[in-house]
C-alpha cells in the first residue's frame, strides 16, 4: 500500500510511472503536477523517486523557496547536482556564477548572454548525466523559482523527448500570465503528463483518516474531517493534533473523538496555532525567528538571528519537533510544510517582521555573507531612505546581473524605490537598470530607459556607457539608421571619454558601410582605428579593422581583406576577453581565408572561435559562429553541413533576439534553389520579405536576389530572372561592392548568352577577369574568370579547359557549373564522347553537393544529343532511412551509439551544441525514431558483422 497521503492518487502515480518507463526507454518528457498546498504533490514525487531508484534510475531533486527567488539558478543547480556533485559542466557553470561582477557599467548588458550560456551549460550537464543512464529530475515549488531557473526548465523540456530524462515539476496553480504560467503553457507540447491534483472525495478523506488512526473513524470524527475540504495535509494535521491533545479514543476498531461536541480548529492555521499554544514562549519565539529564514534553515543562521549558541537552539526547538512542527532535513531543520511556516510567520506583526528582517540583513552583512543573502532580508525590512539597504541591493544586483539579469532588475527596482529623491545613487541605479532590462530580454524598455537616463542626465559619468549600450542593442536588432544617429550624437558630446569615442567611431564606420558608401566608411574606420589605438580600446580597434577588411573584400581586394582581419585577430590576442572577442575577429578572418581558398585554415579559425566562446561563456556570439561557419562550408562545397549551420544560425538568432538573419536566409534560399527545392526556397524568400518589411538590413544583398532569380528561372520566367541579376550586377558596381557579384557571375553570363546579349556577357566576363587579376593567389577565381570568358565567347574548348581548371580548385560548385556548361556546349557541337566523359565528372560533383538543378542540366544536354546518361547518374538521396543521412549525420549517429551526449559530441567534433542538436533532430526524423536509444540500436545493428 502507498503512503497514506497517496490514497486515491493511484491514477496520478500510474501516469507518472508510465512516463518514467518511457524515459527509461529513451523517450523522455516533461511531467507537470499542479495542486494547492497540501494536495500531495511532494508525496507523489517522493513515491516516484523511490520507484525510480529501485529501477536503477538516477534521481536529482531541487526545491525553489520564496526567499531564494533572488538567487539565480539556485533550484536548478541544486537539482542537477543532486547525486552528481562532480559534473564538470556543472562545476564550470557554478564557477561562472561565482565570478566577480563587471565594473560599474562595463558589460552590464552582457549578463543576458552569460545567463543564456549558463542555461546551455546546465542543459549540457543534464545531457551528460543522461549519457550514463536514465534520469528523473524533480523541481518542487516551481512557483518560487527565479527566472533563470525557469529558463533551464524550458531548455530541458525542449530537450527531454530525445533523452532518457523525465523532468518532473511541481507547482501551485500559477496565476494567469505569470512567468510560470507562460512556461507551462509553452511546455505543454512536450508534457507527457499534466496533472491537476483535485481534493480527495469525501470517502477518500475518511479512508485517509482510517489509515492515519489505524481504525474506523466514528461519526463525530468523520464530520470534522469533512471540514478539511479533501486536503490531505489538513486531514493529517487534524489527526496528529487530536492525537497529541489526547482527544482520540479507540473502541475496538472504531476511533472517535473523546469529546464529540468539543470545539475543533476550523482551519489549518487554527491547528498550527493550537500546537504553538502548547509550547513554551522561548520555543515559539525561536520558531518565529526561524520562519523569517524560510521553510528550510540552518542552525548557524538561526543562531545569528537569535544571538545565542547553536547548541542551545537544539534544546529549545526539540519540543517543536515533538509537536510535529519541525523536521530534520540534512544538516538543518525545516518546517513540516510551507503552510506551517506561513502560519508561524503570521504570528508576528508586519512591523516586527520587517524589523527582524532588517536586523538579520545587517547581522549577515557583519559576518561577510554574500550580498544576495543580505539584500533579500534588507529588501523586506528597510524603510525608504535607508542608504545602507540601497547600497546592498545595488551590490547584490550587480552580482546577479552577471548571470541572472531578471533577478538584477527586481533588486534594482527595489533599490530605486528605497533611494531618497536626492540620493546620488539614483542616477547610477537607473543607468544600471537600463542595461539589466536589456539583458533580461526587454530591449524596448531597456532602450527607453537608456534614452530617459541620457535625456535627464541622471548619471553624467556613465553617458558614454549608456550611449554605447544603446548602440549595441540597436545594432543587434539590425536598426542601422538609429545606430548611426546615436554614434554621431556620442561623438558630438564633450562628456564622452576617449575610449568610448573610439567605440562610437567604430559603430559609425559599420553603419556607414551599409548606408553611406565605401569611402565614407573606410575613412571612418581608419579614424576609429587610430582613436582606438590611442585610447587602448581594443574592441573598437577590432571593429575598425574588420570594417576595413570587409570594405577591401567588397571592392575585390581579397589579400587586403585577409591582412586586415589577421591584424584584428592579433589585436584580440593581446586581451582575449569577452568584450574583445565579441567583435568576432576569428570569424572574419575565417571568411577572409576561405575567400583565398585556404579552407583548412578557415576551419581552424572557426574552431579557435568556438573554443574561445566556450571558455569565456559567450552564447550570443555563437549565432555568428553558425553564420560565418555556414559561409565557409558553403563555399567549400560542404552543402549538407552548411544547411545545418544555416538552420542553427536562424534558431540561435531567434533565441537571442538578434536581427541579423537576412544573409543566412538568403544563402539558404540559394542552396535550396540550386538543389531544385523550390518550395523551401520560396519559404525562405517569404521570411526575408517579412523581415525586410520590419526594417531588417542585409550585408550580402546579393543572396536573396540570386535565390529569387533562380526560382524565377526554374519556374519558366527566365526573362524576369535576367532582369533581376543584370540590375544587381550594376547596383553592386555602383556601390563599390564588386566582389559580391561572384556567386551569380556564371548565372548572369549564361542567361545573357541564352538571350543573345553577347556584348553584355563579354562585359560581365571582363569584370570577373578584373576581379581575378587582383587576387592571383586564388586558383578558383582564375578558373571562374576563364569559365565566364569562354561561356560569353561560345568557346567550347575554352569551357572544357575551364572545367578542368575549376575541378582542380577547391570549390566543387564552381567546378560543377563549369562542367555543366562544357557538357551543354560539347553536346550541342556534336562531340558526344567528350560530353559523356565530362558529364561523369560533373555528375560526381552534383551528387556530392546534392545540386539537382545542375545535374538536370547535364542530363538534359545528354538526352538532347541522343546520349544515355552514364552509370553515375544524379542519384537523389532517399528521404528516410540510414542512406538518407549525410556524412556528418552518420558520424554524429555513430557517436550517439557510443553513448556520448550532445555536448560530448560537440566537444569531440569541435562544433557547437546547437549544430549537434540540429544533426540529431534530422537523424531522428530521417530514421523515423523517437529516441537516442532507438537511434543507437539502429546504428549498432548496422555495425554488427554479418553472421
Is residue 113 a contact partner of residue 620, using CB atoms and an 8 Å limit? Answer: yes
Which pLDDT does position 877 carry in this prediction? 67
Measured CA to CA, the distance from residue 219 to residue 772 in angstroms comes to: 99
Phi, psi of 721 (to 5 degrees): -60, -45
Cα 365 from chain centre: 35
Tell me the C-alpha to C-alpha distance, in Å, between residue 125 and each of 230, 611, 836. 40, 18, 55
- Specify the DSSP class assigned to residue 557: -
pLDDT of residue 946: 45
Strand partners, 169: 32, 139
The residues, any chain, with a CB within 8 Å of residue 904's CB and separated by 6 or more, are 127, 128, 131, 895
Rounded distance between C-alpha atoms, residue 818 and residue 408, angstroms: 58
* CA gap 217, 214 in Å, rounded: 9
Give the DSSP per-residue string, 792-845.
Answer: HHT-HHHHHHHHHHHHHSS-HHHHHHHHHHHHHHHHHTT-HHHHHHHHHHHHHH
Rounded Cα–Cα distance for residues 673 and 85 (Å):
50
Among the listed residues 366, 365, 367, the one whose alpha carbon sits nearest the alpha carbon of residue 378: 365
Q: What pairing do the DSSP bridges indicate for beta strands 29-34 and 165-171?
A: parallel
Query: Own/partner pairs for 221-225, CB < 8 Å, 24+ apart?
Result: 221/248, 221/255, 221/256, 221/257, 224/257, 224/264
Strands 332-335 and 326-329: antiparallel
| Alpha carbon separation from 835 to 485, 547, 746, 832 (Å, rounded) | 58, 45, 20, 5
Q: In the prediction, which pLDDT does 887 show?
A: 87
Using CA atoms, how far residue 871 sits from 815, 847, 868, in Å, is: 20, 13, 9
What is the H or E stretch that residue 907 is in?
helix 902-909
- Is 749 within 8 Å of 788 (Cβ atoms)? yes
HEC string of 263-310 equals CCCCCHHHHHHHHHHCCCHHHHHHHHHHHHHCCEECHHHHHHHHCCCH
The whole-number mean pLDDT for each consecutive block of 10 residues of the chain, a chain of 947 residues, reads 73 95 91 91 94 95 86 92 89 79 52 79 92 94 92 91 93 83 77 89 92 91 86 87 84 86 68 84 90 87 85 85 84 84 88 90 87 88 92 88 86 93 86 88 89 82 86 81 88 89 89 82 93 93 94 92 97 90 93 96 94 80 86 95 91 69 92 95 94 78 93 95 96 87 96 96 96 92 97 97 96 97 95 93 92 92 78 61 88 88 87 86 87 82 57
d(CA 297, CA 290) in angstroms, rounded, equals 7
Between helix 621-636 and helix 662-674 the angle, nearest 10°, is 30
Task: Measure the CA–CA gap between 738 and 525, rounded to whole angstroms.
Answer: 20
Q: What CA–CA distance (Å, rounded) separates 571 from 538?
A: 7
Amino acid at each position: 500500500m502507498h503512503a497514506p497521503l497517496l490514497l486515491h492518487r493511484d491514477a496520478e502515480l500510474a501516469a507518472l510511472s508510465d512516463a518514467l518507463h518511457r524515459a527509461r526507454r529513451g523517450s523522455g518528457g516533461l511531467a507537470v503536477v499542479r495542486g494547492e498546498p497540501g494536495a500531495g504533490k511532494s508525496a507523489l514525487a517522493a513515491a516516484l523517486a523511490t520507484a525510480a531508484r529501485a529501477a536503477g534510475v538516477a534521481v536529482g531533486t531541487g526545491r525553489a523557496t520564496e526567499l531564494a527567488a533572488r538567487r539565480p539558478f539556485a533550484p536548478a543547480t541544486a537539482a542537477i547536482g543532486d547525486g552528481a556533485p562532480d559534473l564538470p559542466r556543472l562545476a564550470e557553470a557554478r564557477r561562472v556564477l561565482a565570478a566577480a561582477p563587471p565594473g560599474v557599467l562595463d558589460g552590464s548588458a552582457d549578463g543576458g548572454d552569460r545567463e543564456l550560456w549558463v542555461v546551455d551549460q546546465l542543459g549540457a550537464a543534464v545531457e551528460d548525466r543522461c549519457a550514463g543512464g536514465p534520469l528523473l529530475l524533480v523541481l518542487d515549488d516551481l512557483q518560487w523559482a527565479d527566472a533563470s531557473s525557469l529558463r533551464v526548465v524550458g531548455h530541458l523540456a525542449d530537450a527531454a523527448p530525445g533523452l532518457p530524462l523525465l523532468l518532473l515539476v511541481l507547482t501551485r496553480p500559477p496565476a494567469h500570465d505569470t512567468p510560470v504560467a507562460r512556461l507551462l503553457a509553452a511546455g505543454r507540447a512536450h508534457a507527457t503528463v499534466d496533472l491537476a491534483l483535485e481534493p480527495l472525495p469525501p470517502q477518500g478523506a475518511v479512508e485517509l483518516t482510517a489509515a492515519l488512526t489505524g481504525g474506523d473513524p466514528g461519526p463525530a470524527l468523520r464530520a470534522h474531517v469533512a471540514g478539511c475540504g479533501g486536503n490531505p495535509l489538513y486531514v493529517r494535521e487534524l489527526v496528529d493534533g487530536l492525537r497529541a491533545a489526547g482527544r482520540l479514543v479507540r473502541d475496538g476498531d472504531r476511533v472517535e473523538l473523546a469529546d464529540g461536541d468539543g470545539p475543533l480548529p476550523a482551519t489549518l492555521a487554527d491547528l498550527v496555532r493550537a500546537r504553538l499554544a502548547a509550547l513554551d514562549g522561548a520555543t515559539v519565539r525561536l520558531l518565529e525567528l526561524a520562519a523569517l529564514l524560510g521553510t528550510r534553515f540552518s542552525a548557524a543562521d538561526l543562531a545569528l538571528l537569535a544571538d545565542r549558541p547553536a547548541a542551545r537552539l537544539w534544546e529549545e526547538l526539540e519540543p517543536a519537533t515533538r509537536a510535529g512542527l519541525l523536521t530534520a532535513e540534512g544538516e538543518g531543520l525545516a518546517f513540516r510544510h510551507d503552510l506551517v511556516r506561513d502560519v508561524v510567520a503570521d504570528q508576528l506583526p508586519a512591523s516586527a517582521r520587517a524589523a527582524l528582517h532588517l536586523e538579520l540583513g545587517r547581522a549577515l552583512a557583519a559576518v561577510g555573507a554574500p550580498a544576495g543573502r543580505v539584500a533579500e532580508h534588507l529588501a523586506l525590512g528597510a524603510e525608504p531612505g535607508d542608504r545602507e539597504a540601497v547600497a546592498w541591493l545595488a551590490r547584490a544586483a550587480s552580482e546577479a546581473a552577471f548571470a541572472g539579469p531578471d533577478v538584477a532588475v527586481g533588486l534594482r527596482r527595489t533599490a530605486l524605490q528605497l533611494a531618497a529623491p536626492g540620493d546620488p545613487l539614483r542616477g547610477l541605479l537607473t543607468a544600471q537598470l537600463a542595461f539589466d532590462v536589456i539583458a533580461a530580454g526587454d530591449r524596448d524598455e531597456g532602450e527607453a530607459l537608456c534614452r530617459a537616463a541620457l535625456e535627464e542626465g541622471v548619471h553624467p559619468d556613465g553617458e558614454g556607457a549608456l550611449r554605447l549600450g544603446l548602440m549595441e542593442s540597436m545594432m543587434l536588432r539590425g536598426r542601422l539608421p538609429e545606430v548611426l544617429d546615436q554614434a554621431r550624437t556620442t561623438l558630438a558630446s564633450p562628456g564622452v571619454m576617449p575610449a568610448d569615442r573610439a567605440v562610437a567611431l567604430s559603430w559609425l564606420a559599420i553603419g556607414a558601410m551599409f548606408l553611406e558608401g565605401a569611402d565614407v566608411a573606410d575613412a571612418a574606420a581608419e579614424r576609429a582605428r587610430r582613436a582606438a589605438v590611442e585610447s587602448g580600446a581594443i574592441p573598437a580597434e577590432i571593429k575598425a579593422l574588420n570594417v576595413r577588411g570587409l570594405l577591401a573584400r567588397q571592392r575585390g581586394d581579397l589579400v587586403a581583406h585577409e591582412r586586415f582581419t589577421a591584424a584584428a585577430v592579433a589585436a584580440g590576442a593581446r586581451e582575449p576577453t569577452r568584450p574583445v572577442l565579441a567583435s568576432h575577429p576569428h570569424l572574419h578572418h575565417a571568411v577572409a581565408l576561405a575567400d583565398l581558398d585556404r579552407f583548412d585554415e578557415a576551419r581552424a579559425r572557426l574552431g579557435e572561435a568556438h573554443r574561445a566562446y566556450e571558455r569565456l561563456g559567450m552564447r550570443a556570439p555563437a549565432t555568428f559562429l553558425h553564420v560565418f561557419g555556414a559561409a565557409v562550408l558553403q563555399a567549400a562545397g560542404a552543402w549538407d553541413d552548411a544547411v545545418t549551420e544555416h538552420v542553427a544560425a536562424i534558431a540561435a538568432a531567434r533565441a537571442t533576439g538578434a536581427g541579423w538573419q537576412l544573409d543566412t536566409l538568403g544563402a539558404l534560399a540559394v542552396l535550396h534553389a540550386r538543389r531544385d527545392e523550390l518550395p523551401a526556397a520560396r519559404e525562405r524568400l517569404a521570411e526575408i520579405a517579412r523581415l525586410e518589411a520590419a526594417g531588417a538590413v542585409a550585408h550580402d544583398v546579393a543572396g536573396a536576389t540570386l535565390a529569387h532569380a533562380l526560382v524565377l528561372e526554374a519556374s519558366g520566367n527566365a526573362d524576369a530572372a535576367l532582369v533581376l541579376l543584370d540590375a544587381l550586377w550594376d547596383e553592386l558596381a555602383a556601390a563599390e561592392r564588386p566582389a559580391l557579384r561572384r556567386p551569380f557571375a556564371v548565372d548572369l553570363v549564361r542567361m545573357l548568352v541564352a538571350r543573345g546579349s553577347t556584348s553584355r556577357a563579354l562585359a560581365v566576363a571582363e569584370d570577373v577577369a578584373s576581379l581575378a587579376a587582383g587576387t592571383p593567389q586564388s586558383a578558383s577565381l582564375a578558373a571562374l574568370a576563364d569559365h565566364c570568358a569562354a561561356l560569353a565567347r561560345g568557346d567550347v574548348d575554352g569551357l572544357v579547359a575551364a572545367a578542368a581548371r575549376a575541378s582542380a580548385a577547391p570549390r566543387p560548385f564552381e567546378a560543377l557549373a563549369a562542367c555543366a556548361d562544357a557538357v551543354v556546349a560539347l553536346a550541342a557541337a556534336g562531340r558526344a564522347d567528350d560530353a559523356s566523359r565530362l558529364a561523369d565528372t560533373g555528375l560526381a560533383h552534383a551528387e556530392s553537393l546534392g545540386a539537382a538543378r545542375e545535374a538536370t542540366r547535364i542530363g538534359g544536354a545528354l538526352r538532347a544529343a541522343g546520349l544515355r546518361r552514364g552509370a553515375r547518374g544524379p542519384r537523389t538521396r532517399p528521404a528516410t532511412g540510414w542512406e538518407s543521412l549525410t556524412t556528418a549525420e552518420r558520424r554524429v549517429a555513430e557517436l550517439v551509439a557510443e553513448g556520448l551526449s550532445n555536448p560530448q559530441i560537440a566537444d569531440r567534433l569541435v562544433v557547437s551544441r546547437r549544430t549537434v542538436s540540429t544533426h540529431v533532430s534530422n537523424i531522428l526524423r530521417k530514421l523515423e525514431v523517437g529516441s537516442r536509444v532507438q537511434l543507437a540500436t539502429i546504428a549498432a545493428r548496422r555495425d554488427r558483422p554479418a553472421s
